[in-house]
């Protein structure tokens, strides 16, 4: 998982990857610390072609605001540079996996 340090770096990752999961968190979010490794493991096991990036919203508030992220944790999934899925605060890994499955399979597993 790559930690993002600037808006241009964020845009570059979106431009260079067909599928990106952006995990927005803050330093004081205890739920974020527990959920982050579970989301990372889920991606590695189920969606190996999807890139996961980590954004510390309290250190990059402009980037969080430009992506309309005002709660932690927030997960935003991009396919072909476009936001496709958004989850904030209370969500489960299985719920996230099932929502990613269809667009991921259409992008990477279609004949």
Helices within 2-111 (DSSP H only): 7-16, 30-46, 61-66, 93-108
pLDDT in tens, 60-91: 999 999 999 999 999 999 999 999 999 998 89
Other CB atoms within 10 A of residue 104 CB: 21
Q: HSE on the CB side for 82, CA within 13 Å? A: 4
Going along the chain from its start, the domains and CATH numbers come out as: 2-108 (3.40.30.10)
pLDDT in tens, 5-35: 999 999 999 999 999 999 999 999 999 999 9
Answer for the pair 21, 53: CB distance below 8 angstroms, yes or no: yes
Write down the pTM of the prediction. 0.92
């Amino acid at each position: 998982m790559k930690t993002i340090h600037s808006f241009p770096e964020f845009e570059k990752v979106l431009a260079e990857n067909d599928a990106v999961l952006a995990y927005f968190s803050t330093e004081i979010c205890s739920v974020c610390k527990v959920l982050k490794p579970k989301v990372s493991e889920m991606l590695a096991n189920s969606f190996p072609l999807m890139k996961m990036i980590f954004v510390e919203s309290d250190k990059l508030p402009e980037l969080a605001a430009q992506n309309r992220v005002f709660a932690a944790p927030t997960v935003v999934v991009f396919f072909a540079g476009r936001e496709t899925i958004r989850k904030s605060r209370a969500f489960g890994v299985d719920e996230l996996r099932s929502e990613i499955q269809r667009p991921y399979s259409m992008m990477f597993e279609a004949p």
